[in-house]
Amino acid sequence: MKKPEDDRIFYFDRERSRSLPRPSSVNAVPYRVIFSDKGKILMFADNGIYQFNKNKWALLTSHQYAINTSSEIVRAPDGRYWFSGLNGILEFDGERVFQHITGNPDSPAVQSLCIGSDQQLYVTLGPKGDVYRCPLVDGALTAPSEWERIYESKREFVHRSWMASTQNGEIWVVNNHEHDGALVYDIENDTWTSYNLRSIGGENFCTTVMESRDGHIWVVGRGSLHLFDGESWKVYKGPEYPIPDAQPFITQDADGFVYLIEQGAFIRRIDYSQKYYRTLRGLHFQAEGSDGSYWYLDVDGDVIVEQRRQDSQWVRYSREETGIDAPVSLVVLNNGHVLCAGSAAEAAAFSIFDGQAWNLYRYPEFAPGLSHLGILKLNNGDVVLSCGQAENEYPNYLGGMLHVSYRDGKYTVSRHESSEVTFRPWTVVEDPVSAELWIGAENLARVHFGSPVEWV
Residues 287 and 226 in one domain: no
- In the prediction, which pLDDT does 405 show? 92
Residues 188 and 326 in one domain: no
Residues 206 and 307 in one domain: no
Residues 204 and 160 in one domain: yes
- In the prediction, which pLDDT does 281 show? 86
Residue 321 · residue 339 · CB < 8 Å? no
Residues 332 and 421 in one domain: yes
Torsion angle (degrees, nearest 10) of CA 199, 204, 208, 213: 10
pLDDT digits (tens, 9 = 90+) for 343-382: 999 999 999 999 999 999 999 998 899 888 778 888 788 9
- In the prediction, which pLDDT does 190 show? 96
- In the prediction, which pLDDT does 178 show? 84
Domain with residue 356: its CATH number is: 2.120.10.30
User: Where in the sequence is the domain holding 88, given as residue range(s)?
Assistant: 9-270
Task: Say which residues have a Cβ less than 8 Å from residue 94's Cβ, sequence separation at least 6.
Answer: 60, 79, 80
Question: Does residue 115 lie within any of the structural domains?
Answer: yes
- In the prediction, which pLDDT does 437 show? 74
Question: Does residue 275 lie within any of the structural domains?
Answer: no
The one-letter amino acid at 390: A
pLDDT digits (tens, 9 = 90+) for 276-327: 567 788 899 998 888 888 999 998 878 999 998 778 899 999 999 999 999 9
- In the prediction, which pLDDT does 1 show? 44
Q: Let me know how many helices (H) and strands (E) the chain has, helices first.
A: 1, 43
- In the prediction, which pLDDT does 226 show? 95
Q: What is the mean pLDDT of each run of 10 residues along the chain (456 residues)?
A: 62 68 87 85 93 91 92 90 94 94 78 95 93 95 94 90 95 91 96 94 90 93 91 88 80 84 75 68 88 88 87 91 94 93 93 95 91 82 83 77 90 80 66 70 68 60
DSSP string, 407-438: ETTEEEEEEE-BTTB--SS-EEEE-TTT--EE
**Class of residue 188 by CB neighbours under 10 A (exposed 0-12, middle 13-18, buried 19+):** exposed
Rg over CA atoms, the chain? 25
Residues 303 and 247 in one domain: no
In order of 67, 107, 114, 147, 157, the CA distances from 86 in angstroms are 6, 9, 16, 18, 16
Domain boundary pick from 270, 303, 327: 270
Check: pTM over 0.85? Answer yes or no. no
Residues 227 and 123 in one domain: yes
Q: Identify the CA nearest to 131 among candidates 163, 156, 104, 99.
A: 163
Residues 293 and 202 in one domain: no
Residues 318 and 434 in one domain: yes
